[in-house]
Structure 1
Amino acid sequence: MLGVILFLFLHLPVLKTELQQSPVFLRAHPGESANITCCILTEIAYCSDMVWYFQQHTEAPQRIDKDSRTSTSDVAQGKNCVLKISNLMRTDSGTYFCSVCRYRTSLFGSGTQLIVKDSAGEKPSIFILGPSQDMITKMVNVILVCLVFDPPDNMSVYWDVSGEVAAGRMDSELITADGDYSVTNELTIPIDTWDKKLSIRCIAGTEYRDYSDYTLTKGVYKQTIANLLREIIILLAFIMIILSICCKTRVEKHKLIFQRTIKKNALEFKNAFRLQGVVQGLEMFSRSLDKYSGFHTVKRSVIVDLMEMVLSNNFVGFEGELFRQVAGVAMGAKCAPIYANLVLAEWEMEKVFPTEYMKQFAVSGELSQFITYKDEFKAANTP
C-alpha cells in the first residue's frame, strides 16, 4: 500500500503537467528569425528539462540539437521556454514540438507549424486534379481538387462553376520534404451536373486555373458498354468453340463404341449361325414376316416351312460326292436375297438401331439414309 502511495506522489504531478505552445501557425521569409514559445504549467518541470522536436512532411519527428542557427532559453529554472531559429531557410518549414520527460513519462506540446516562403510578390502555383477513371465509370459524385503551392498570407481559395461561386472544402495545409507549402480545396459535383460539361475554374487570390481535362460519364458509359459487349461476344465464341469440340469428341466417342459394338454383335451373329445353323435364321426370318409382310398367320407359317425345306435340303457336289449345306443359304437360290434381307433387317433392328450412336441420329433427325450391303452397312446424315 505504501508503494502505491509513493508511486502516486511521484507521478501525479507529472500527469497534471500541461505544455502551452504558441503560436499555432507562424509564417516567415528566408533569412529571418522565428521564435516558438512553450510554457510549462507545473512545479516539477523546468526549461532545463525541455527537448524540442522537428517533423517535416510525413517523416518521424527528429530531435533538434543546438547549432549556430538554433538556441533555447538561457534560464534553466524558467517556465517560459523559447526556441529561436535564425537565418531561416525553406527547408526549415515544418512542425515544431516541445517536450518534457519526468519519471519515464513524456509530454508534448500541441505543435507550431512554421512556413518559410519567399517574398509575397511571388505568384502561387495552381493545379487542378481531376476525378479518377474509376469514379467516372461507377457514376458517383465527381471530386475535383485544387492544389495551390506557396499561397500568400490570408489568401482565399474558391471555385467558379459556370459563373457561380462555390466555396469547396479547404483541407489541412501541407509542407513537403523540400519545404514547399501548399493548401488544397475539394469541390464535389453531382454526376448529373457533371455531364452538363460545366466551366470550372479554381481561384486563389488574383490567380486562377481552368479545368480542361473533361471526361463525360456518358462517353465512358458507352465505351464501357462497348467493351462489355465485345468481351461477351469473345466469350460466347469461345464457348461455341468449346461446345463444338466437346460435341465432336462425344460423337467420335459414341462412333467408336458403336463400331466396337457392331463388330462384337456381328461376330456373335456369325458364330451363332455356325453353331445353330438354320434354326436362328428361320426365327429371325419369321419375326420379319410378322412385322413387314402383312400375311395371314397360316400363310406366314407355310412360307417359313417352305424356307426351312429349302435351307435344309441344299446339296453341293464335290469330287463325285454330295454334301448337304447345314448353315446359311445357297447364293444361287432364288429365295436367298429375300431371306438374307429379312434376316439382316431383323438383326439390325435388334443390334444396330438400339445403340446410343444411332439413337442420337434418330433424335436429331439427321439420319437420312441407312444402306445395307451384303457384307457391310453405312449410315448417312443430312447435309
Structure 2
Amino acid sequence: MCLLYEMHSLFIMLGAILLLFVCFTVLMAQPVQLPHFVKVNIGQSVTLSCITERGSAYCYDMMWYVQYPMASFQQIISDRKYSTPSERLERNCSLTIRNVKANSTGMYFCSGCSIALNVFGNGTWLSVTDGSSHSPTLFIVRPLDNEMKLRNVTTLICMVCDIPFHSVMIYWNISGTITNGLMESRLSTMKGEYCMTNQITISAVTWNEGTNCTCIVENEPGIFFTKHIWKKDKTLGILARIPGAVSILVRIIIFLLFVIIILVTCLLTRIQLDSTVDLLIKGSQHS
C-alpha cells in the first residue's frame, strides 16, 4: 500500500511538472505582430501578420480580436470580410480584411489559445482614411486663474483631434525648451472625431511673463502642426501677442506716433490761433 501511495504521489508530481512546463512554453510563445501600424484607404484590402516563432501554437490555435476606439474588446469571426490561412499548421497566422470601412479603424490582436491560457500578440493599429490629406485639429485649453492662486502653477492642455493616434507624437516647446508633457491615452470623441490630449504644468511666473508655449504635433515623420498660446495683456490687447524685441519695437513706434500726433495737434492749434489773432488785428484797423 505504501508503494502504491508513493507511486500515486509521484505521478501527481510529474503531472504538475508537465503542466507547468506546458504553461511556461505557451507563455514564452507570444505571437509577433508586424507592422505595428498600418494605414489604408476606404475600400482597400489589408493583411495583418501574426507569427508564432516558439512553442506549440499553430494557426489552428489562433484567434483574432479587435478593439475599436471607444468600444469593447470583441472576437473576429471569419466570413466574407475577414479570412485567415486555410493551412492550419502554418506559423504565419495572418488576418485579411477586405473592403475596409471607416469604422474598421482599431487595434487588432492575435491570440494563441490553449487549455488554460490566452497569449496575445503586441497588436497592430489599423487606420482607415478617405485618401484625402487633411490637417489635425489643435486646441489649447487656457489655464485657470484659481490654480495659479492656490498652487502657484498653471496647467496647459493641448487637445488634438482627427489623427491616427498610435502613430502621432505630441510634445511642447516652452520658450525654446522641449518637453514631452503628460499624454492622455484614453480616447474621447468631439463632434464624431477621435481626440487625445497632452498636458503640461508650468510655473505661474513663467506664464505671467508672457512666455510663448507651443503644442507640437508630429502626424507623420517630418510633418508637424503647431498651436501657440501665451498670456494676453488685457491693457495692451494685441501687443501682448508679439513676443520679445518685436514687442519693444512696436511699443516705441506707437509712442513716437503718439508724440507726433500731439505735436501736430499743437501746431495746428497754434496756426489756428495765429489766424484768429490776424483777423482780429485787421478788423480793428478797418474800424
TM bucket, shorter chain = 0.5 to 0.7
What number of residue pairs does the alignment pair up? Answer: 215
Q: Matches of residues 331-350 of structure 1 in structure 2 within 5 Å?
A: none
Counterpart CA distance in 2 for 1:70 and 1:215 is: 58
- Residue in 1 that maps onto 2:215: 202
Report deviation, 1:140: 3.8
Report deviation, 1:68: 2.2
The normalised TM-score by structure 2 is 0.62
Q: Which among 53, 60, 65 is matched to residue 77 of structure 2?
A: 65
Counterpart CA distance in 1 for 2:182 and 2:127 is: 18
Q: Which among 98, 106, 113 is matched to residue 101 of structure 1?
A: 113
Change (3 A) 1:141 1:177: closer
Percent of matched pairs sharing the same residue: 28
Report deviation, 1:139: 2.6
- Residue in 2 that maps onto 1:89: 101
Counterpart CA distance in 1 for 2:62 and 2:168 is: 35
- Residue in 1 that maps onto 2:160: 148
| Contact in 2 for aligned 1:56/1:176 (Cα 8 Å) | no
- Residue in 2 that maps onto 1:41: 53
Counterpart CA distance in 2 for 1:152 and 1:110 is: 18
**1:169 correspondence with 2:181:** yes
**1:5 correspondence with 2:14:** yes
Counterpart CA distance in 2 for 1:215 and 1:135 is: 19
Unaligned residue ranges in structure 2 (runs of 5+): 1-9, 218-222, 235-287
Change (3 A) 1:212 1:199: closer
Counterpart amino acid of residue 166 in structure 1: I
Change (3 A) 1:41 1:104: same
- Residue in 1 that maps onto 2:229: 211
Deviates more, 1:150-159 or 1:128-137: 150-159
Counterpart amino acid of residue 17 in structure 2: L
Counterpart CA distance in 1 for 2:129 and 2:161 is: 10
Report deviation, 1:174: 5.8
Counterpart CA distance in 1 for 2:145 and 2:103 is: 35
Q: Matches of residues 17-36 of structure 1 in structure 2 within 5 Å?
A: 17=26, 18=29, 19-36=31-48
Q: Which among 158, 182, 187 is matched to residue 200 of structure 2?
A: 187
Counterpart CA distance in 2 for 1:95 and 1:39 is: 17
Counterpart CA distance in 2 for 1:87 and 1:126 is: 31
Counterpart amino acid of residue 65 in structure 2: Y
Report deviation, 1:47: 0.5
| Contact in 1 for aligned 2:172/2:181 (Cα 8 Å) | no
Report deviation, 1:176: 5.2
Report deviation, 1:156: 5.8
| Contact in 2 for aligned 1:141/1:189 (Cα 8 Å) | yes
Report deviation, 1:62: 0.6
| Contact in 1 for aligned 2:84/2:95 (Cα 8 Å) | yes
* 1:153-196 superposed Cα distances (whole Å, 9 cap, x missing partner): 9776454556x363443736665579955454433321211122
SS at match of 1:16: helix
Change (3 A) 1:180 1:118: farther
Counterpart CA distance in 2 for 1:86 and 1:132 is: 49
Counterpart CA distance in 2 for 1:83 and 1:157 is: 31
- The structure richer in strand per residue is 2
| Contact in 2 for aligned 1:124/1:152 (Cα 8 Å) | no
Q: Matches of residues 1-383 of structure 1 in structure 2 within 5 Å?
A: 1-17=10-26, 18=29, 19-57=31-69, 59-119=71-131, 121-132=133-144, 134-151=146-163, 157-159=170-172, 161=174, 164=176, 166-169=178-181, 171=183, 180-204=193-217, 205=223, 207-211=225-229
Unaligned residue ranges in structure 1 (runs of 5+): 217-383
The normalised TM-score by structure 1 is 0.48
Counterpart amino acid of residue 153 in structure 2: N
Counterpart CA distance in 2 for 1:206 and 1:101 is: 42
Change (3 A) 1:120 1:55: same
Counterpart amino acid of residue 137 in structure 2: S
Counterpart amino acid of residue 138 in structure 2: I
Counterpart CA distance in 2 for 1:113 and 1:152 is: 9
SS at match of 2:107: strand
Question: Max radius of gyration: which structure?
Answer: 1
